[in-house]
A and B are shown apart, each in its own frame.
Chain A
Amino acid sequence: MRLPVSGHGASRGSALGRARVRLPHVLEIGEQHIEDVEAELDRLHAAIHVVRGEMRALRQRLHGALAQDIGEFLDLHALLLDDPELLQGLDTLIRNERYSADYALRLQRDRIAGIFTGMDDAYLRSRIDDIDQVIGRIHAALHRREADAGGVAGEILVADNIAPTELLQLQAQGVMAVVTAGGSALSHSAILARSLHLPLVVGAAQALSKINDGDVLVVDGGTGLVVREPDADDLRAHRARTREYARERKQLNRLRREPSRTLDGIDIKLWANAESREDVAEAHALGAAGVGLYRTEFLFLNSDVLPDEEAQFRAYRDLVLGMTGRTVTIRTLDVGADKADRTGLTLADEPNPALGVRGVRLSLLRERLFETQLRAMVRASGYGPVRVLVPMVCCREEMVAVRALLARVIDDVRREGHEVAEAIPLGAMIEVPAAALALPGFIDLTDFLSIGTNDLVQYLLAVDRNNEQLGELYTPLHPAVLQLLQSVIALAGKRGKPVAVCGEMAADPLFVPVLLALGLLEFSMHPGTLLEVRRAIRGCDLASLRARCKALLRARDRSEIQRWLAALVPQRANSSAQ
Chain B
Amino acid sequence: MIERELDVTNRLGLHARASARLVQVLSGFRCNATLSAKGREVNAKSIMGVMLLAAGPGTAVLLRVDGEDEAAAAAAVAELFERKFDEGS
Given A348-B88, A357-B88: A127 touches B16 (CB 8 Å cut-off): yes
* Contact in complex: A348, B54 (CB < 8 Å): no
Binds A, one of B19-27, B60-68, B69-77: B19-27
Closest chain A CB from B49 CB (angstroms): 5
Number of chain A interface residues as a range: 20 to 34
Task: Name the contact of A76 in the complex, choosing from B20, B42, B85, B86 (C-beta under 8 A).
Answer: B20
* Contact in complex: A80, B87 (CB < 8 Å): no
The answer to whether the Cβ of A305 comes within 8 Å of any Cβ in the partner chain is no
The answer to whether the Cβ of B31 comes within 8 Å of any Cβ in the partner chain is no
The answer to whether the Cβ of A26 comes within 8 Å of any Cβ in the partner chain is no
* Contact in complex: B23, A79 (CB < 8 Å): yes
* Contact in complex: A83, B46 (CB < 8 Å): yes
Alpha-carbon separation in the docked complex, A342 to B45 (Å): 17
Alpha-carbon separation in the docked complex, A80 to B19 (Å): 11
The answer to whether the Cβ of A116 comes within 8 Å of any Cβ in the partner chain is yes
Chain A residues proximal to chain B, CB less than 8 Å: 75-76, 79-80, 82-86, 112, 115-116, 119-121, 123-124, 127, 131, 340, 342, 344-351, 357, 365-366
The answer to whether the Cβ of B4 comes within 8 Å of any Cβ in the partner chain is no
What 4 A-B pairs are tightest by C-beta distance, nearest first? A344-B86, A349-B12, A348-B87, A85-B46
The answer to whether the Cβ of B52 comes within 8 Å of any Cβ in the partner chain is yes
Q: Which residues does chain A contribute within 8 Å of B13, judged by CB atoms? A: 349
The answer to whether the Cβ of B2 comes within 8 Å of any Cβ in the partner chain is no
Given A83-B47, A84-B45: A116 touches B52 (CB 8 Å cut-off): yes
Closest chain A CB from B46 CB (angstroms): 4
* Contact in complex: B48, A340 (CB < 8 Å): no
Alpha-carbon separation in the docked complex, A348 to B43 (Å): 23
* Contact in complex: B47, A124 (CB < 8 Å): no
The answer to whether the Cβ of B30 comes within 8 Å of any Cβ in the partner chain is no
Closest chain A CB from B54 CB (angstroms): 6
Q: Which residues does chain A contribute within 8 Å of B54, judged by CB atoms? A: 119-121, 124
* Contact in complex: A347, B46 (CB < 8 Å): no
Main SS of chain A's interface residues?
Answer: loop
Q: Which residues does chain A contribute within 8 Å of B27, judged by CB atoms? A: 82
Alpha-carbon separation in the docked complex, A357 to B54 (Å): 24
The answer to whether the Cβ of B51 comes within 8 Å of any Cβ in the partner chain is yes
Alpha-carbon separation in the docked complex, A82 to B46 (Å): 8
The residue in chain A whose Cβ has the minimal distance to the Cβ of B15 is A349
The residue in chain A whose Cβ has the minimal distance to the Cβ of B88 is A348
Q: Which residues does chain B contribute within 8 Å of A351, judged by CB atoms? A: 12
Alpha-carbon separation in the docked complex, A75 to B23 (Å): 12
Closest chain A CB from B78 CB (angstroms): 16
* Contact in complex: B11, A349 (CB < 8 Å): yes
The residue in chain B whose Cβ has the minimal distance to the Cβ of A345 is B86
Closest chain A CB from B39 CB (angstroms): 15
Q: Which residues does chain B contribute within 8 Å of A75, judged by CB atoms? A: 20
What are 30 of the A-B contact pairs (CB < 8 Å)?
A: A79-B20, A79-B23, A79-B24, A79-B47, A82-B27, A83-B48, A83-B49, A84-B46, A85-B48, A119-B54, A121-B54, A123-B16, A124-B15, A124-B54, A127-B16, A131-B48, A340-B20, A342-B24, A344-B86, A345-B86, A347-B21, A348-B11, A348-B87, A349-B11, A349-B17, A349-B18, A350-B11, A350-B12, A351-B12, A357-B88
Alpha-carbon separation in the docked complex, A313 to B17 (Å): 30
Alpha-carbon separation in the docked complex, A499 to B75 (Å): 53
* Contact in complex: A80, B48 (CB < 8 Å): yes
Alpha-carbon separation in the docked complex, A123 to B46 (Å): 18
Closest chain A CB from B40 CB (angstroms): 10
Query: Which of B16, B23, B42, B86 has its CB near the most chain A CB atoms (within 10 A)?
Result: B16
* Contact in complex: B18, A115 (CB < 8 Å): no
* Contact in complex: B52, A119 (CB < 8 Å): yes
The residue in chain A whose Cβ has the minimal distance to the Cβ of B87 is A348
Given A75-B20, A340-B20, A348-B88: A86 touches B51 (CB 8 Å cut-off): no
Task: Kindly list 19 other residue pairs between chains A and B, CB separation below 8 angstroms, not including A347-B18, A349-B11.
Answer: A75-B20, A79-B47, A83-B47, A86-B46, A119-B54, A120-B54, A123-B16, A124-B16, A124-B51, A127-B51, A342-B24, A344-B21, A347-B87, A348-B88, A349-B10, A349-B13, A350-B11, A365-B88, A366-B89
